């Protein structure tokens, strides 16, 4: 039985067997959590979890990671635990006074660490799911990002990044999505300042991971020069499929 703890909630993976109430209660006391849930799967373009409460009555919690606080409701939004290192890697790359765009912000998985650990001038955090967007706003306040800056440094935007991105220009654009991220490359590159950097996530068959993502970036960049700066394997996404990130500077 595999499990993970998010905030004060113990999540059992979906191959757990039927545990008795007393076994669940002993797990709750052992891990000092308030609820125990099972997440069957994540579905749809909004990446919504299908959650079942096994013990306790709440799926809302505050999770702390890398000195950042994330309020979330596990029955409404997912928690991508596998991306922890990547979230900090990006936060450390952000230079002072940069303008950053987070195209698939979620509850602020990448935006919040950038706001807490880096010193950008502005972060446009775009999110389509109204539930995630509400938590994104909460998490900007919870981490006091705009309060400490003394201005609206981090701007939460509810909408489809295809239509929102063209309203802004950025020096660094995060494309943390899966399966169809390439469809958003034209919007991203259209918003990227000359010499800016995109962090392009792709879930890709292992045999194509060193070619298809970069080819797609170059195709979307047209006559703008593409320099690949880095290539990161984030995690195994599914059998034979990797979640990778290409850092590319586009002139
Ligand atoms: N970028 C974060 C990360 O990598 O950890 C979140 C990843 S999560 C898989 C993708 C997020 O993108 C979800 O919160 C989903 O609602 C949002 N999303 C999906 N389509 C979108 C779109 N067209 N515009 C903005 N957000 C979108």
**Minimum-distance ligand 1 atom for the alpha carbon of 42:** 9
Quote the pLDDT of residue 83. 84
The pLDDT score that the predictor gives to residue 56 is: 93
Is there a single domain that holds both residue 44 and residue 97? no
CATH number at residue 86: 3.40.50.150
Same domain assignment for residues 39 and 100? no
Q: 169-214: per-residue pLDDT in tens?
A: 999 999 999 999 999 999 999 999 999 999 999 999 999 999 999 9
Per-residue confidence band for 15, with pLDDT thresholds at 50, 70 and 90: low
The answer to whether residue 66 sits within a structural domain is no
Torsion over CA: 192, 197, 201, 204 (sign): positive
The mean pLDDT of 29-41, rounded to a whole number, is 90
Query: For residue 126, which atom of ligand 1 is closest to its CA?
Result: 25
Give the closest residue (by CA) to ligand 1 atom 16. 46
With the C-alpha atoms ordered 69, 75, 77, 79, is the resulting torsion angle positive or negative?
positive
Residues 51 and 99 in one domain: no
The percent of residues in the chain predicted with pLDDT above 90, rounded, is: 84
Are residues 90 and 36 located together in one domain of the fold? no
**Measured from the CA of 83, which atom of ligand 1 is nearest?**
5
Question: In angstroms, what is the span from residue 48 Cα to ligand 1's centroid?
Answer: 10
**Residue 1 confidence (pLDDT):** 58
Q: Are residues 216 and 181 in the same domain?
A: yes
Question: Exposed, middle or buried by CB within 10 Å (0-12, 13-18, 19+), for 168?
Answer: middle
Assign 55 to helix, strand or coil: strand
Does residue 110 sit in the same domain as residue 202? yes
Q: How far is the CA of 161 from the centre of ligand 1 (A)?
A: 9
- pLDDT, one tens digit per residue, over 133-174 is 999 999 999 999 999 999 999 999 999 999 999 999 999 999
Is residue 41 located within the same domain as residue 97?
no
Q: What is the pLDDT of residue 176?
A: 96
Task: State which residues form the domain around 41.
Answer: 3-58
The answer to whether the CB of 106 is under 6 A from ligand 1 is yes
> Is residue 12 one of the residues assigned to a domain?
yes
The total domain count for the chain is: 2
- Residue 199 domain flag: yes
Q: Residue 230 Cα, ligand 1 centroid: separation in angstroms?
A: 22
Q: In what order do the strands lie in the sheet with 3-6?
A: 3-6, 9-12, 35-43, 48-55
Lowest mean pLDDT segment, chosen from 79-83, 142-146, 213-217, 236-240:
79-83
């Amino acid at each position: 039985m595999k499990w993970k703890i998010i905030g004060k909630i113990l999540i059992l993976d979906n191959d757990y067997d039927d545990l008795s109430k007393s076994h669940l209660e002993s797990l709750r006391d052992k891990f000092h959590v308030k609820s125990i849930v099972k997440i069957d799967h994540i579905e749809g373009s909004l990446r919504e979890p299908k959650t079942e409460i096994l013990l306790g009555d709440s799926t809302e919690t505050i999770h702390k990671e890398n000195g950042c606080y994330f309020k979330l409701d596990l029955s409404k939004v997912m928690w991508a635990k596998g991306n922890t290192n990547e979230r900090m890697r990006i936060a450390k790359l952000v230079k002072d006074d940069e303008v950053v765009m987070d195209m698939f912000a979620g509850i602020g998985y990448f935006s919040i660490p950038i706001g807490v650990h880096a010193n950008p001038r502005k972060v446009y955090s775009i999110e389509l799911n109204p539930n995630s967007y509400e938590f994104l706003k909460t998490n900007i306040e919870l981490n006091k990002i705009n309060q400490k800056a003394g201005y609206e440094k981090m701007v939460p935007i509810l909408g489809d990044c295809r239509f929102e991105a063209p309203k802004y220009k950025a020096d660094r654009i995060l494309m943390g999505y899966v399966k169809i991220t390439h469809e958003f490359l034209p919007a991203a590159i259209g918003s990227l300042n000359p010499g800016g950097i995109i962090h392009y996530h792709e879930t890709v068959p292992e045999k194509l991971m060193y070619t298809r993502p970069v080819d797609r970036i170059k195709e979307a960049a047209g006559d703008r020069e593409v320099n690949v700066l880095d290539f990161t394997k984030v995690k195994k996404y599914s059998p034979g499929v990797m979640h990778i990130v290409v850092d590319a500077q586009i002139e």
